[in-house]
Amino acid sequence: MSEQEKPRVLSGIQPSGSMHLGNYLGAIRNWVDDQDKYNNYFMIADYHSLNTIRNGTEMRRNRKELVAMLLACGIDPERSVLFYQSELPEHTELAWIFTSLSPLGWLERMTQYKDKMSRLTETASISTGLLTYPALQAADILLYQADLVPVGADQRQHIEFTRDLAARFNNIFGETFVLPKAEIRKEVANVPSLTNPAKKMSKSNPDGNGRIDLLDQPNVIKKKFKRATTDSFRDVVFSDDPERAGLLNILSIYKAMTGKDEATIEAEFVGKGYGDLKVAVGEATVAHLEPIQAEYKRIMADKGYIKEVMDDGADRARRIARKTLRKVRRKIGME
């Protein structure tokens, strides 16, 4: 199948701190596995991170470390396009056009914005970027005429917003944009916290024991699993019982780390307890992450490689972005 025949996919990830196992299982590993299936554009969403990162040194470090980790996990710059969002001004130009076309009510109804508003007493504490960033996200996606956008279930609304905005533009100015579809894989859409399975694993959670960072040392990984929340039952089985969400989380991670099926895993732990499971999942995770960590260190030590990869990715992404933006500018009368 040629590049033109493959569905085009846009995936973005913010450089907002260390990557954890939830990022890896929920997104990155799927990106790696699907590189031959799709025509992939992987974007470092650094403009989006401006809503939370206000330090230039931190941003530069995070961007570099994120690229190194994506490459270490298996993103192949020969098969995929990897680029910084901020390297292409087409993103912000199209975002302003979309902001001008976005009804305020559409933006105010976005769940993440409403959740943030409900937690703050002063609206001055919320940046305008939190309200308008769905328009930038829509520009990110539509600029590349993406057919599919892999997202977690919590991002479904943003893809619906993007489709609505694309349809609105098409209705006003004529057919211009492909209406993208969300690709949500329910089995890995969200990886729960190890300490509170009611919440997803998150780098913003101050409780570091709830997540496994991809660069955690072996002893740290094993200790976090030993502290993981389970339940008061004894049998080690896959169960959808909400009271056993902690156990299901650990078993699901073990399944992902080893590639074993559920029946094999349950048979492995017959007559054994949660302590045995926690030791096993810790060791399996350490073994799985060891080559990734080694490759990450190698890439970080090669000062010129990351810049070379990202310069090439920006050039390749720009070919599509410029073509789309020129079409948009003609439609709205700017050319």
CATH of the domain at 171: 3.40.50.620
pLDDT surpasses 90 at 305: yes
Mark whether 263 and 238 lie in a shared domain.
yes
Q: Does a structural domain hold residue 3?
A: no
Q: Does a structural domain hold residue 198?
A: no
pLDDT at 51: 86
Q: Does a structural domain hold residue 197?
A: no
Mark whether 70 and 88 lie in a shared domain.
yes
Mark whether 291 and 320 lie in a shared domain.
no
pLDDT at 91: 98
Which residues are tagged catalytic? 116, 200, 203
Mark whether 160 and 250 lie in a shared domain.
no
pLDDT band at 123; cut points 50, 70, 90: low
pLDDT band at 273; cut points 50, 70, 90: very high
Q: What is the pLDDT of residues 80-120, one digit of tens each?
A: 999 999 999 999 999 999 999 999 999 999 988 888 777 76
Mark whether 142 and 240 lie in a shared domain.
no
Number of other CB atoms surrounding residue 110 within 10 Å = 18
pLDDT at 59: 96
Q: Does a structural domain hold residue 228?
A: yes
Mark whether 285 and 317 lie in a shared domain.
no
How far is residue 221's CA from residue 209's CA, in Å, rounded to a whole number? 9
Is residue 133 within 8 A of residue 48, CB to CB? The reply is yes
Residue 23 tokens, joined: 């990022």
Mark whether 98 and 159 lie in a shared domain.
yes
Mark whether 315 and 287 lie in a shared domain.
no
Mark whether 293 and 309 lie in a shared domain.
no
Q: Does a structural domain hold residue 196?
A: no
Please provide the size of the chain in residues: 335
Number of other CB atoms surrounding residue 51 within 10 Å = 16
Q: Which of 67, 64, 75, 65 is CA-nearest to residue 38?
A: 75
CATH of the domain at 293: 1.10.240.10
Count of the separate structural domains present in the chain: 2
Average pLDDT over residues 255-265: 96
Mark whether 19 and 160 lie in a shared domain.
yes
Q: Does a structural domain hold residue 200?
A: no
Mark whether 231 and 186 lie in a shared domain.
no
Number of other CB atoms surrounding residue 244 within 10 Å = 19
Angle between helices 274-301 and 218-226 in degrees, nearest 10: 150
Average pLDDT over residues 119-124: 59
pLDDT surpasses 90 at 301: yes
Mark whether 222 and 95 lie in a shared domain.
no
Q: Does a structural domain hold residue 199?
A: no
Label residue 157 exposed, middle or buried (CB < 10 Å: 0-12, 13-18, 19+): middle
pLDDT band at 187; cut points 50, 70, 90: low
Q: Does a structural domain hold residue 203?
A: no
Q: Which of 211, 144, 157 is CA-nearest to residue 184?
A: 157
Q: What is the pLDDT of residues 206-249, one digit of tens each?
A: 788 999 999 999 999 999 999 999 999 989 999 999 999 999 99
Q: What is the pLDDT of residues 129-178, one digit of tens each?
A: 889 999 999 999 999 999 999 887 778 899 999 999 999 999 999 999 99
Q: How far is CA 297 from the centre of its chain?
A: 22
For 265, the domain range is: 208-297
Q: What rounded mean pLDDT belongs to the chain?
A: 92
What's the Rg (C-alpha) of the chain? 21
List C-alpha distances in Å: 119 to 125, 146, 319.
11, 34, 42
pLDDT at 120: 65
pLDDT surpasses 80 at 76: yes
